[in-house]
Amino acid sequence: MHVPVLAPVAPAPVRVEAVKESNVSRRWCAEVETPKSGDFGFRTDYRMPDVFFKTAPHNPPHLFVADALYMLTGVIYGKVPLMISGQRKAEWRDVFYNAAKVHRWQIVAWVVLDNHYHAIVRSPEQVDNLSKFVNSYHKYTARKWNNQDGLSGRKVWWNYWDTCIRSEKDYYNRLRYVFWNPVKHGLAEKPENYTFSNYEEYLDKLQNFATAAMPEVNDVPEF
């Protein structure tokens, strides 16, 4: 789906509305009963009212659940730092929010770095449109940046990964992972010192949360 053209934005800190903690879904993917292989027959997908389960050759089965939380990771092709400027990061942020509104995904947390991003989002009732959501802002930013750089047809995005968050503990582990990613990459001393995330909206909630005691998330691609 085409994302409308956005007006230019300055690379300055911008407060954007995200899902409030009290509204975060408490439906965890570990609680969802997934279909057995015999349910598929010769099909590659299985639909229930609010669950979409899909298989593909050479890939693990994929679970899409309505009103659940997902972690997304996207990376620039070849790990090139195409988003090194504040302007590019701001452009990604604004297109990301616009695409989420169009495809009805709610944004909980996000951070964008020089060549990748991480986000936590909440799924809509239409549970099989995740790829359309991600592809919409990937395609828009690719066209925009290729036009800016005079490189028509250049491959900008390599791939994206998504994980259905399994439990409340898993959620807080990944929330910490998202917000502390700039610190891990040496771009800031503290999460609140990094402009291009929505960490400030969680400061009050996380100040008394023992993030340091959480185990490291180990299934997220890092660049």
Span 54-77, average pLDDT: 75
- Report pLDDT for 39: 44
From CA 181, how far away is CA 33, in angstroms rounded?
32
pLDDT in tens, 112-163: 999 999 999 999 987 678 889 999 999 999 999 999 999 999 999 998 999 8
Span 63-78, average pLDDT: 89
Tell me the fold of 66-213: Alpha-Beta Plaits (3.30.70)
From CA 220, how far away is CA 173, in angstroms rounded?
12
Q: Is the per-residue pLDDT at 37 higher than 70?
A: no
- Report pLDDT for 8: 34
Residue 148 token pair = 């800016």
pLDDT in tens, 100-112: 999 999 999 999 9
CA 169 to chain centre: 18
Q: Which residues of 155-174 are buried (b: 16+ CB within 10 A; e: fewer)?
A: ebbbebebbbbbeeebbbbb
The pTM assigned to this predicted structure is 0.74
Which residues are CB-neighbours of 100 under 8 A, at least 6 positions away? 106, 107, 121, 133
CA 188 to chain centre: 21
